[in-house]
Amino acid sequence: MGQLRDRMLADLQLRFYRPGTQQAYLACARRYAAYYMVSPARLGAEDARAYLVHLVQEKKASAATLKMNVAALKFLYTHTLGRPEVVAAIPWPRVRSTLPVILSGTEVEAFLAAVRVLKYRAIAMTMYGTGLRVQETCRLGVGDIDSRRGLIHVRDGKRGRDRYVMLAERLLLVLREYWRATRPEGSYLFSGTRADRPIEPESVRRAIREAAAAAGLVKRVTPHILRHSFATHLLEGGTDLRVIQVLLGHGSIRTTTRYTRVSAAHVGRTTSPLDVLGTSRARPLG
C-alpha cells in the first residue's frame, strides 16, 4: 500500500491505538488491497462489501475475524481516506458470546507447580493472582510493585486506564525470590532478551502451554484463562461484582457479569422462588 499504509499507521498512532491493533488493522487493509490488486483509494462501497462477503463465503472467516476486518476498513475509509460513506452501510457482525473455560483451584495448583522456570512461574502467578492481561503483566515495571501497601500499579491498561490490584502475600514471596535470583537490570520487572525491553507475550504463552501439558491438564490453558479463573474464583469466594470489575479494569459491569454465568457456586447459592413459597420471605412475591 506504500504511502497509504504510512498514512494509516500515522492515523492509528495519533489515536493511540495499541501496537497490536495497529498491526492487525494494517494487515487487514493490506490483504484487502491485495485481493483487488489496486489501492483502496480507488475502491468503493460495493467493493468493500464484496470483499467481506468473500471472507465469509470463500475463506470461512469466523465472526471475530470478520469483525476485525470490518473495523480495519471502517478506520481506513473514515479516518485515513476521509470517505466514511464507503463503509457507512457495513454492519458490525454479531459475535457469539461464549462462556470461558475456567480452571478449578486444584488445576491451578497443578499448573503452577508444573512451571519449572522461576521467571515464568512468577509471571503465571502474577496473572492468576491479580487478573492482569498478558500485555499488562509483561509491561510491569519494577517500581509498580508496592509491597508496603500490598498493591500493584497497572499502568496504561486497556483503553489507557491505570488501576491498582492486590498483591497477594504468596505472590510477593515468589517475586522476591525471582528478584534475588535475577536482579533485573532495566526498568521492566520481566525483561526480554534485552534489559530495556519487556518480555514478549508469545514467550509467556508458549511457557504456559508447556506447563499445562506437563501438568496433564485436558483443558486449554492461556493467559486469558488464568484471568477468567481469577475472576470466577473471586466471585465464588464472595467478592462483590463491582470490586471484580475494578480489579479487571472493565469499562462496563456488563462485561464482568459474564462470570456469574460460569460460576457454579454463585448459581448454587441463589435461592429458587419455589423454596420461598409459604415462608416469611414470600411476602415480596405478593
Active site residues: 133, 158, 224, 227, 250, 259
Calpha distance 250→230 (Å, rounded): 14
State the sign of the Cα–Cα–Cα–Cα dihedral 96, 237, 221, 204.
positive
Place of cell 462501497: 45
Q: Write the CB contacts of 112 (distance below 8 Å, at least 6 apart in sequence).
A: 121, 124, 125, 128, 211
CA distances (Å), origin 175, targets 123, 180, 184: 9, 9, 11
Nearest to 59 by CA among 87, 16, 28, 18: 28
Instruction: Report the alpha-carbon distance of residue 19 to residue 271 in Å, rounded.
Output: 47
Tell me the β-bridge partners of 146: 151
